[in-house]
Structure 1
Amino acid sequence: MPAPSRLRTVLSESVGGLPRQFWWLWAATLVNRLGGFVVTYLALYLTVGRGYPASYAGLVAGLFGAGSAIASLLGGVLADRLGRRPTLMAAQLSTAVSTAALGFADGPVAIAVVAFLVGLASNAARPAISAIIADLVPAPDRVRAYSLNYWAINIGFGVSAAVAGLIAAHGYLPLFLLDALTTLICAVMVFVRIPETRPERSAAAVREEPRTGLGTVFRDGRFMALVGVNLLLALVAQQGSTTLAIDMGEAGISTSGYGLVIGLNGLLIVVLQLPMGRLMEGRNRTALLVVSALLTGWGFGLTALAGSSAAFFAVTVAVWTIGEIMAAPTMMGLVAELSPAGARGRYQGVHSLSWSLASFLGPLAGGYLLQHAGSAVVWLACGVCGTVAAGAFLLVGRRAAADAGSGARVAGADAADGEVAAAPGGGVAVPS
């Protein structure tokens, strides 16, 4: 087959067959991330632009994370009760207003309060977006859809990080205003093109179904086990933007060198997400999660051997980035399938909570270990965490297969759609 024809075939298999509304949501996500300047440069704005100490910047980052954690649960509940579309629009409009206000906020108390509100507003959209994808996309295509959405996020992040540096050279206020503007554009796109996707249920069905609140989600043992494993891996992943930078600096590698090395993460995701997403379709899900956990954990673990070699640091980033590419869409697809149709927002919110907690706890844990035990202990601990996570995924997959074999409800099945996610051979498989 000629190369152009082969390329068209690959693209068709990677992006074809998904609903039009999904692509509008994808485009809205890309626009929003292209203008995602503030979070990336908030610490520099506070320390360099406003002259606050690093401890205050850490406090503001913690408050932003606290708002994000609360929003994970609140956004999930609202997505189920009010609907995906109104929750997403309210979150985006609130994010636009609070982001612009943060650019004008003056004084440590005002800045801290508004930063908390920005975290609260911005993260409330995540459960709604994940639930919309689960509502719109048939089960066999969900991992591919989440891969594409993750691809859009990383394209936007890569471009915005590069552009923001050029804009910030002329002042920080334009970053806040442009971020608010792109979020507002995203809200308009949702209003015009994204319908409400929450599954409609008859009054009789609502009466007959057991009520699913947050307590029900937290009592779902298998789902919470997966959330716990995801939290463990997220704590490891957080070291890439915090502890890694400090360790590379102590090894004598310049700031620009760190930028080039960590930039490889975004570049590889943009280049590899689509072909790897295609390769992952139909694969045993447990195997994917086990391999991704090992790659993530020991990708960071190899950093203990990097010394002062920027090239070796780059190799480690490449290893854990491949683990990240495998894990993110696979886990999102699994969460969607474990969620009852009427409670997808709550389930996605609790899953998102694990990332919010990791963004707060990860830097604290990594910094403490780095200071008191040394860098080798930090990176070896990451490898151990990855191994523990891989073992946990394997146990959950075997339990799902055992339940399926005994006639119990299969983990990963959505009763409303009749989806089955248990694979022969002892794993939770991607539906095919």
Structure 2
Amino acid sequence: MPRTVWLLVAARALNRLGAFSLSFLTVLISDDFGASPTTAGLVSAGFGLATIPSRLVGGRLASRLGRRRTIVTGLVGCAAAQLGIAAAGSLAMAACCALLLGLAFELYEPPSQAIIADTVPAAERVHAYSLLNAALAAGGIGAGLIAAGLGRYDLRWLFVADALTCLICALTLRIALPADHRRPTAADEARLGTPPARPWRDRALLAMFVSGTAFALLAMHVVMALPLTLDRRGYAAADAGLLFTASALTVVAAQPVLRLRRLTALPAHTALALGHLLLAAGLAGYALAPTLPAFLVGTVFWSLGEAVVLGRAISVVADLAPPGAGDRYLAAYGISWGIATTAAPVTATQLLEHTGVAALWLAMAGLGLVLAAGQLLVVEPLIARKVDHPLGHGAATADLPARTAPGVTG
């Protein structure tokens, strides 16, 4: 892997050390300010809603302002908002800071993912994105222990720890990443005769976007609902930190397995369907789990599924993008996480309140099965059609050589 990729991997691992605070935002709102589960869910949903324009702005800023500047701006903004939540003396202040956190939260993702897409050959992109996911998991090992320890003392310290790691990560990348270069403007593209990229007119990307949104919804339900589920089953909500640590260990341990020839040779749609099936199995296990060891087994299964899906999905989207449009394609696809982060706090709290723990997780497992079938029956044919007629869609494909636009930061 190129040096720039390893820098991003190391920085993400460092940043992840304090990044379990969001899992406990609803608990903090409920416990410290006496808010109802519905109100706490709405505050978290406001955070998620703000991440949607954040992701789009991140892609636009990366294209115009520069990738390094965008990454540093996003991390510093996250740190300021996290410290605001930690110091909040009222529900209104905490809600405002959560909204500001959402606006800064996704600025980082499009430029960092696009740097990898433009730096790594197409054949190695799945491995590169899997490494990025493994870095998040590696940092999450320590983060889960921090959450389990600091969370028992005061949940606000989780937000302080997250803010500190954001600032350290911002400083590291500001020093280590290559300087930003001027990127082609719309006028430049018109002068060169390059057709402008229109992600939302690309049916293959739209299919991946719908699938990615459903997958993100499953992942965010784990983040938002697992602490509440443990609380209802008679365990401490902070024990979710231990399960998140187990998840991180699973993802790290799975990396050599993901590099096995038998798995790397699988077509993307087959691998994605397999990942969704593993995810469904783990979430179904949550519905039936009577003890913490049983929750641990479910955690291992859905973590394996997530490890398979994340690297493959982002690589497919990067390959769909035409030259120089990786920021915009990845930003458009990444909105799926903003939608899921908006919806999950509301749907999770409402399902828990009105149907119970088992119904919530069985519904999520069912969605995982639908995703596996949809990947094979709907998404894959649309991508195959684009491979057969790439020029008609104006984008690169997974089976075409990787192309790098002039002026892209390496």
TM class by shorter chain equals: 0.7 to 0.9
1:390 correspondence with 2:372: yes
Counterpart for residue 304 of structure 2? 322
- For 1:165-180, list aligned pairs within 5 A: 165-167=148-150, 174-180=157-163
In structure 1, how many angstroms separate the alpha carbons of the residues matched to 2:319 and 2:181? 15
Please list the CA deviations of residues 104-156 of structure 1 after superposition, one character each: whole Å capped at 9, or x if unmatched.
Answer: 33333222112211121122111121111112212111111111111111221
For residues 198-244 of structure 1, what are the alpha-carbon distances to aligned partners after superposition, in whole Å with 9 as ceiling and x for unaligned?
796597655211223xxx22222210111101111222233323445
1:148-192 superposed Cα distances (whole Å, 9 cap, x missing partner):
111111221231231244345565665444433322221122221
- On the 8 A contact 2:272/2:309 being kept in 1, the answer is yes
DSSP-derived class of the 2:325 partner: helix
Deviation per CA, 1:240-269, whole angstroms, max 9, x where unpaired?
234455555555566576655554322211
1:163 aligns with one of 146, 149, 155: 146
Match of 2:318 in 1: 336
Shift of 1:41: 3.8
CA apart distance, 1:309: 4.6
Query: Structure 1, unaligned stretches of length 5 or more?
Result: 1-17, 421-432
Identify the residue that residue 101 of structure 1 maps to in structure 2. 84
Name whichever of 143-152 and 336-345 sits farther off: 336-345
Aligned twin of 1:132: 115
The answer on whether the counterparts of 2:41 and 2:349 sit within 8 Å (CA) in structure 1 is: no
Distance in 2 separating the partners of 1:100 and 1:127: 24
Contact 1:198–1:342 (8 Å) recurs in 2: no
Deviations 1:284-331 (A, max 9, x none): 111101111222223323444x25254443333222221111001110
Within the candidate set 359, 363, 381, 2:363 is matched to 381
- Distance, in Å, in 2 between the alignment partners of 1:165 and 1:392 is 37
2:215 is the counterpart of 1:233:
yes
Q: 1:315 to 1:138 in 2, by over 3 A?
A: same
Tell me how far apart the structure 2 counterparts of residues 52 and 222 of structure 1 sit (CA, whole Å). Answer: 42
**C-alpha displacement of 1:369:** 3.7
Question: Is 2:227–2:238's contact at 8 Å kept on the other side of the alignment?
Answer: no
Q: Deviations over 1:326-381 (max 9, x none)?
A: 00111011111112232222221222211121122124334434444455543443
Greater CA drift, 169-178 or 69-78: 169-178
Aligned position for 1:78:
61
Match of 2:5 in 1: 22
The reply on whether 1:308 has 2:290 as its aligned counterpart is yes
Consecutive unaligned residues in structure 2, runs of 5 or more: 404-410
Superposition deviation, residue 25 in structure 1: 1.5
CA distance in 2, matches of 1:103, 1:119: 15
Point out which structure has higher relative CO (alpha carbons under 8 A, 6+ apart): 2
Once the two structures are superposed, the pairs formed by residues 20-419 of structure 1 within 5 Å of their partners are 20-36=3-19, 38-49=21-32, 52-167=35-150, 174-196=157-179, 205-207=189-191, 208-212=193-197, 216-247=198-229, 249-251=231-233, 255=237, 260-279=242-261, 280-304=263-287, 306=288, 308-394=290-376, 395-405=378-388, 413=396, 418-419=401-402
- Residue 350 of structure 2 aligns to which amino acid in structure 1? Y
Residues 233 and 297, structure 1, Cα contact 8 Å, conserved in 2:
no
Contact 1:233 1:296 in 2 (8 A): no
CA separation of 1:343 and 1:173: change in aligned 2, threshold 3 A: same
Q: Distance in 2 between matches of 1:400 and 1:173?
A: 45
Query: In the aligned structure 2, how far is the partner of 1:128 from the partner of 1:102?
Result: 26
Distance in structure 2 (CA, Å) of the matches to 1:255 and 1:110: 24
1:58–1:257 Cα change, 3 Å: closer
Deviation of 1:274 (Å): 4.0
| TM-superposition CA deviations, 1:263-284 (whole Å, max 9, x none) | 4322211221343245543431
SS at match of 2:204: helix
State the match for 1:428 in structure 2.
none
In the other structure, the counterpart of 1:15 is: none
Q: 1:143 is aligned with what amino acid?
A: V
- Contact 2:279–2:305 (Cα < 8 Å) also in 1: yes
Does the CA contact (< 8 Å) of 1:127 and 1:348 recur in 2? Answer: yes
Report if aligned partners of 2:121, 2:402 keep a CA contact under 8 Å in 1. Answer: no
What letter is aligned with 1:264?
A
* Offset, 1:89: 1.5
Counterpart residue identity of residue 83, structure 1: G
Residues 22 and 410 from structure 1, CA distance in 2 versus in 1: closer, same or farther, beyond 3 angstroms? same
Please say if residues 386 and 397 of structure 2, whose CA atoms lie closer than 8 Å, have aligned partners that are also in contact.
Answer: no
| Greater Cα offset, 177-186 or 122-131 | 177-186
| Length-normalised TM-score, structure 1 | 0.81
CA RMSD of aligned residues (A): 3.2
CA contact (8 A) 2:28 2:155 kept: yes
Q: How many angstroms apart in 2 are the aligned matches of 1:276 and 1:199?
A: 37
Q: CA distance change for structure 1 residues 205 and 282 in 2, over 3 Å: closer, same or farther?
A: farther
- Cα contact 1:85–1:197 (8 A) shared by 2: yes
Evaluate the alpha carbon distance shift between residue 105 and residue 374 of structure 1 in structure 2; reply closer, same or farther with a 3 A threshold: closer
Structure 1, 249-258 or 309-318: larger mean CA deviation? 249-258
